[in-house]
Amino acid sequence: MLVYLAVVAVFFLLYFLIPRKQAWIPFTFLVLGLAVLVFFAVPNENDDLGRYFKIIDAMRNGGWSRFQEMLDSNEFNFGALPVAGYYFYFISLFPDNHFLPFFTVLIAYGCLMNVIYKVAKRFDVDKFYLAIALFFFISTYWFYDLYSGTRNGLAFAISVACIYYHFVEKKNILLCFVGYVLAIGLHSTGIIIIVLAAFAWLSYKTSSKFVNILMIFVIAAGSVAITVLSNLTDNEFIQNLAGQTENVTDTLNISTQTNFLVNVATYLVSVLIFTYCYTYLKNYVENKGDLRFFRFAEIVLFFMLGTIVSNMLFHRVARWILPVMIACVYMVGMQIQKNRIDGKLINLYYDSDTPKAEKIRAMNKGITSFFLFAYSAVHFWYDFTGSSLIWLNVSF
């Protein structure tokens, strides 16, 4: 754990020492530093990572023919999720199994840090707001679960990166669709994020309460539809997704475990931050791609409200989607507010013509930033005392 803390500490030290225009240097350091760290991580006996290492060993010993057997027999769900199978086979070509967590962290953190970097550069975000956004992302993103579980976190990271480039940058659209396919082939839940993105693409102009309420019930309707399809077809992917859905929604109760409550707290904080920034995003963001991207964040929040009774899916979105999306929402919303204050478009004097609601919001900007920083600090403390990070064990 101390090595992880050291990597994060050096990252922020570099961030504050290096000029804003060279922010890519500390960003790159964090991605590489964490990837190298997990290369030396020792899997816990109950981790999926240990089981994955055995699968990779079997592929390495049996070669291509053994891998084809796994695909044909749907062993380890590789028939339904072939991208995951090919990813594991690719790792088996290396002499050390630890390249699996190395590449997982490298790709996932590389994708998400790049999204944050691109958004900050696009809106010329102040270094202070970017720092708080980064602290929130780092403290609430579940690092250990990413490299230990591998597939789900990686699928989500690839999805978010492709959604950003597809919606906002409008570059390499074909590669984005390839990325969507890869995400679905890595883990069945990847399709859920892509469906939410489709909702965002189509509904970015609407503020319809019907659409928002509908999102609360999407998980229930979706699980029913998948169950019906699984009874009508033998398709391996549908069968696998039905199994995942059954595991997620089988027990419709609200968990009282500490880690679930922490994820609920992160969700509530995210709702508050989004609510605070919503006016600026809605009224002063003009680009359609940006609006669609932030609409995606909004839809994720409504979707999570509907999944709060299905613990596993709620966990996954809270740990691997919310951190990056709310980090972007916060820093862009706060930067737009700052620009309006600096441009004299918001006058804080009591007798000014500035609408009262916007004036009150601007007067509480410091409290909002401190609130997000304080929560991030508390979550960071929890990371080292109660989260899965306590199981991190490195061999040096």
pLDDT of the chain along its 396 residues, tens only? 799 999 999 999 999 999 988 999 999 999 999 999 999 999 988 889 999 999 999 999 999 999 999 999 989 889 889 999 999 999 999 999 999 999 999 999 999 999 999 999 999 999 999 999 999 999 999 999 999 999 999 999 999 999 999 999 998 899 999 999 999 999 988 998 999 999 899 888 766 666 666 665 665 465 445 556 656 777 655 655 544 544 444 444 445 578 889 999 999 999 999 999 999 999 999 999 999 999 999 989 988 877 776 667 788 899 999 999 999 999 999 999 999 999 988 887 776 777 888 888 899 999 999 999 999 999 999 999 989 898 898 877
CA distance 73 to 79: 7
pLDDT for 323: 98
pLDDT for 216: 59
Confidence (pTM): 0.91
Question: What are the beta bridge partners of residue 394?
Answer: 41
Let me know if residue 336 belongs to a domain: yes
Let me know if residue 85 belongs to a domain: no
pLDDT for 142: 96
Host H or E run for residue 299:
helix 288-307
Host H or E run for residue 13:
helix 2-17
CA distance 91 to 187: 17
Number of domains in the chain: 1
- Pick from 328, 264, 260, 323: which is nearest to 108 by CA? 323
Let me know if residue 132 belongs to a domain: yes
Let me know if residue 52 belongs to a domain: no
pLDDT for 238: 60
- Pick from 200, 160, 152: which is nearest to 179 by CA? 160
- Pick from 144, 130, 142: which is nearest to 373 by CA? 130
SS3 94: coil
Angular region, 74: left φ>0, alpha ψ -120 to 50, beta rest: left
Let me know if residue 139 belongs to a domain: yes
Domain that holds residue 222: 2-41+98-391
Let me know if residue 58 belongs to a domain: no
In eight-state DSSP terms, residue 93 is: T
Let me know if residue 186 belongs to a domain: yes
Sign of CA dihedral 167, 297, 328, 4: negative
Alpha carbon distances (Å) from 188 to 84, 151, 183, 252: 10, 9, 8, 20
Let me know if residue 332 belongs to a domain: yes
pLDDT for 194: 95
CB atoms within 10 A of CB 367: 10
pLDDT for 279: 93
